[in-house]
Amino acid sequence: MSTESQPISAIGASGSPKHQGQKLTWWLAAGLVGADIGTSVFYSTGVLYPMVGFAAPFFITLVCVAMWLFKIAYQEGCAVSPLNGGAYTMVLQTIGRRAALMVGSLTILSYLATAVVSALSGALYVSSLSPAPWSSWQVVAVASIPVVGFALLNLVGLKESTRVVFAIAAFHFGMLIVMDVYGLYLAFTEGAHWGRLTSGFGVLAPHAILMAFAAAFLGITGFESAAQIIEEIEQPTWIAIRKIYLTIVVLVMFTSPVSSMLCIVLLSDADIEKYKSAFLSGLAVREGGTTMMYLLVANACLTLFAAVNTAFAGATGLMTTMGKQGNLPAIVLRQWAGVSPHLKGFPYVALPFMALCLVMLAVFPGSVDRLGEVYGMAFLSVMVCYCAGVILLRLHQPAKVARSPYVSPWSFAWQDKRIPLAPLIGGAILFVAATILFLTAHHARDLGLQLFLGVLLVMAFYRLGQVETRMVRLPDLRLGLGNYRGMDKLPDMPTYVICTTQVSPRTLVTEISYILKKFGENIEIVIFHAEEQSAPHGVVSEGLERLISQQLEEFYEGRDLVLAVKVLPGNLIEVLTEYSKTRKFELVFISTGHDEESSEALRSHLANELSVDVIRLDESVLPKGPGVWYTQWSQGLRHRDRNWHPDDDYSSPTTRAYEDDRDQ
């Protein structure tokens, strides 16, 4: 923020002005998530068949049932922590920055693998229609089309790219439902090999069962994507998230197991051998001949390409959040709207992500299977971290959880805390699956570790030179007045924070005087300012420090208090939350601003993140000059007001205490 910037109330969780009209509706967001999860139907049966044979549909059904646990976990996580970044944000809020950096690196690797594997797989589906095999460069060229296309489309806007993906996802699930309904009709009217479904269970080896159990969970890849863009979804977000995951779970729970079962019971032995790497293509031929197969190939290609956009959305939501917190360079936050008003979508980070994807396409054109396993391990690990994050929020931030509009009722008591069962059981299941994949997929494990360490080292290198300096160790001005003047070490006192958007002596004196009147002396008042990373570094802090040391020090001379200034780069919610880890606040004050509804939403959001009460100072009901309160204060009225308790009325949009002062 500059010294004459927009009011605090206009700043949302993402650090940019809120435009509710630009947010994604729940059904658009469901299409974004569904496009990624929807791709699993094309390969799940083929992956499981070599391991467990005709029992593959049962393992797919098991995963679909487990999705209800993950649905509950994600509903609670997004309600308690409605910030972009998913598991990264929750780990940052509970454990700390180092652990969050590892989770963030793992999530970025997951999305890189998502984009590359989806693009390559879609290109391979296109190549299957060609009479002659394609060369590697042809596959890479076709795979580059969705990567570049969605990168450019996202610069126009997330909603614009998501509309395209929604149309593809609707076509995909619509076609699957038609195929499944017609397939069931054929199975019950023309006969089916029903005995296959139970014939193979008696000969399954324990090793095969474990492998299939782990591999089956690749069928829900992309489930976590909505949590990465929660700030871009329409409000109230917790209701939108519930609708998103309910829709996805119901659709996948019907289409995936039924499609797999029909492939097993409708195809002949010869067809199973012929289509064992593409079972759904065999089912399409069985139901509608070559024409249906061509439609299915087009469906698979489009859905896989649409999953590339899911990777862009999830990675950009995470990386912009990390950029605001200093874990990535500030350039990733710059908007293309400054270049052209039509480019109102994702910031600069979309193009570097595109470049990384193109490099990986060129390096791994023939490693789709290995990259798919890397993707699976990274994806499962990210979901384990998310489930753990939901539990950690219950343990470390119970007050924040108590304010949440949704908390899972299924929990048990542990050391005066409530532990939610859904993320605990779901996270344990995913942890077992991820561990099995990690121990058995040797080549993919080595490649995944190399890629993960590469991403982590890049972030760690940047972070070591930036984060502590920019976020935590920026010097404060702490000025002792009255009996505290000249002290080498100022004592810790009750701390009240005033969040300001401009260096205004009149406003600051009025607000400081109000706090002193209500709470008396022997307190510390922190003037806090969240500074956009694009602003010239130090300008705001210098202005505030000069104001405090040259003007306010003289105004409050003789009073026993400490005045402090703290300026951090980033947006208000994130940087004040970070600052609160080093300071204990009694209360936080923000201005009402021009938009009372947005201001109240921000107040509630801040209170939720900080687990501290936040009061909106409505300047319209405050005296226009500080002299009124200063005179009352000097006459001793402040002693009468010390009986006022901070629990009195302050959570209302306009506090009655302010109205009393206006009447005076």
Distance, in Å, from the CA atom of 119 to the CA atom of 305, rounded to the nearest integer, reads 6
pLDDT(577) > 50: yes
Is residue 654 classed exposed, middle or buried when 0-12, 13-18 and 19+ CB atoms within 10 A define those classes? middle
Distance, in Å, from the CA atom of 219 to the CA atom of 286, rounded to the nearest integer, reads 24
Distance, in Å, from the CA atom of 482 to the CA atom of 534, rounded to the nearest integer, reads 38
Residue 460's pLDDT is what? Answer: 64
Distance, in Å, from the CA atom of 560 to the CA atom of 646, rounded to the nearest integer, reads 20
pLDDT(491) > 60: yes
Residue 83's pLDDT is what? Answer: 83
Across the range 376-384, mean pLDDT stands at 89
Across the chain, how many H-helices and E-strands are there?
A: 26, 8
Cβ neighbours for 628, distance < 8 A, ≥ 6 positions apart: none
Across the range 548-574, mean pLDDT stands at 79
The β-bridge relationship of strands 417-420 and 561-569 is unpaired
Q: Can you say whether the dihedral through the CA atoms of 355, 313, 120, 153 is positive or negative?
A: negative
Judge contact between 321 and 571, C-beta under 8 A: no
For 523, how many CA atoms within 13 A lie in the half-sphere containing its CB?
A: 21
pLDDT(638) > 50: no
The β-bridge relationship of strands 417-420 and 411-414 is antiparallel
pLDDT range class, residue 502, cuts 50, 70, 90: low
Residue 646's pLDDT is what? Answer: 35
Distance, in Å, from the CA atom of 584 to the CA atom of 50, rounded to the nearest integer, reads 58
Residue 345's pLDDT is what? Answer: 61
559 vs 185, more confident: 185
Across the range 17-24, mean pLDDT stands at 55
Q: Which of 582, 572, 571, 581 is nearest to 478 (CA)?
A: 582
pLDDT(658) > 50: no
pLDDT(508) > 70: yes
Distance, in Å, from the CA atom of 32 to the CA atom of 313, rounded to the nearest integer, reads 8
pLDDT(14) > 70: no
Across the range 29-35, mean pLDDT stands at 90
What letters, b where the CB count within 10 A reaches 16 and e where it falls short, cover 530-554?
Answer: bbbbeeeeeebbebbbebbeeebee
pLDDT(477) > 90: no
Across the range 588-604, mean pLDDT stands at 79
Mean pLDDT of the chain: 79
pLDDT range class, residue 378, cuts 50, 70, 90: confident
pLDDT(20) > 50: no
pLDDT range class, residue 19, cuts 50, 70, 90: very low
What letters, b where the CB count within 10 A reaches 16 and e where it falls short, cover 199-219?
Answer: ebeeeeeeebebbbbbbbbbb
24 vs 456, more confident: 24
Judge contact between 389 and 91, C-beta under 8 A: yes
pLDDT range class, residue 654, cuts 50, 70, 90: very low
Residue 197's pLDDT is what? Answer: 84
Distance, in Å, from the CA atom of 215 to the CA atom of 436, rounded to the nearest integer, reads 9
Q: 3-state SS of 460-507?
A: HHHHHHHHHHHHHCCCCEEEECHHHCCCCCCCCCCEEEEECCECCHHH
Residue 344's pLDDT is what? Answer: 63
Which residues are paired to 615 by β-bridges? Answer: 589
Cβ neighbours for 269, distance < 8 A, ≥ 6 positions apart: none
User: What tokens does 22 get?
Assistant: 């630009």
Q: Which of 107, 151, 152, 171 is nearest to 303 (CA)?
A: 171
Question: What is the percent of the chain with per-residue pLDDT over 70, rounded to a whole number?
Answer: 81
Distance, in Å, from the CA atom of 88 to the CA atom of 328, rounded to the nearest integer, reads 14
Across the range 171-187, mean pLDDT stands at 94
pLDDT(659) > 60: no
The pLDDT tens digits for 251-299 are 999 999 999 999 999 998 898 888 887 888 889 999 989 899 999 999 9
Which residues are paired to 525 by β-bridges? Answer: 496, 563
The pLDDT tens digits for 204-233 are 778 888 888 888 888 888 888 888 888 888
CA-CA-CA-CA dihedral for 299, 301, 302, 305, to nearest 10:
150
pLDDT range class, residue 188, cuts 50, 70, 90: very high
Distance, in Å, from the CA atom of 427 to the CA atom of 611, rounded to the nearest integer, reads 26
The pLDDT tens digits for 300-357 are 999 999 999 999 888 888 888 887 766 777 677 777 666 666 666 666 778 888 888 9
Q: Which of 592, 580, 373 is nearest to 496 (CA)?
A: 580
Phi and psi for 498 in degrees, rounded to 5? -110, 115
368 vs 240, more confident: 240
Question: What is the percent of the chain with per-residue pLDDT over 90, rounded to a whole number?
Answer: 23
Residue 322's pLDDT is what? Answer: 81
Secondary structure (DSSP) of 604-615: HHHHHHHTS-EE
Cβ neighbours for 659, distance < 8 A, ≥ 6 positions apart: 621
Distance, in Å, from the CA atom of 201 to the CA atom of 132, rounded to the nearest integer, reads 40
Across the range 638-647, mean pLDDT stands at 36
pLDDT(186) > 90: yes
Cβ neighbours for 268, distance < 8 A, ≥ 6 positions apart: none
pLDDT range class, residue 641, cuts 50, 70, 90: very low
Q: Can you say whether the dihedral through the CA atoms of 407, 413, 417, 422 is positive or negative?
A: negative
Q: Which of 32, 136, 6, 87 is nearest to 602 (CA)?
A: 6
Residue 247's pLDDT is what? Answer: 94
Residue 467's pLDDT is what? Answer: 43
Distance, in Å, from the CA atom of 372 to the CA atom of 364, rounded to the nearest integer, reads 11
Distance, in Å, from the CA atom of 595 to the CA atom of 605, rounded to the nearest integer, reads 15
Secondary structure (DSSP) of 419-465: EEHHHHHHHHHHHHHHHHHHHH-HHHHHHHHHHHHHHHHHHHHHHHH
Cβ neighbours for 506, distance < 8 A, ≥ 6 positions apart: 625, 626
Distance, in Å, from the CA atom of 378 to the CA atom of 439, rounded to the nearest integer, reads 14
What's the pTM value of the predicted model, to 2 decimals? 0.74
pLDDT(153) > 60: yes
Residue 503's pLDDT is what? Answer: 63
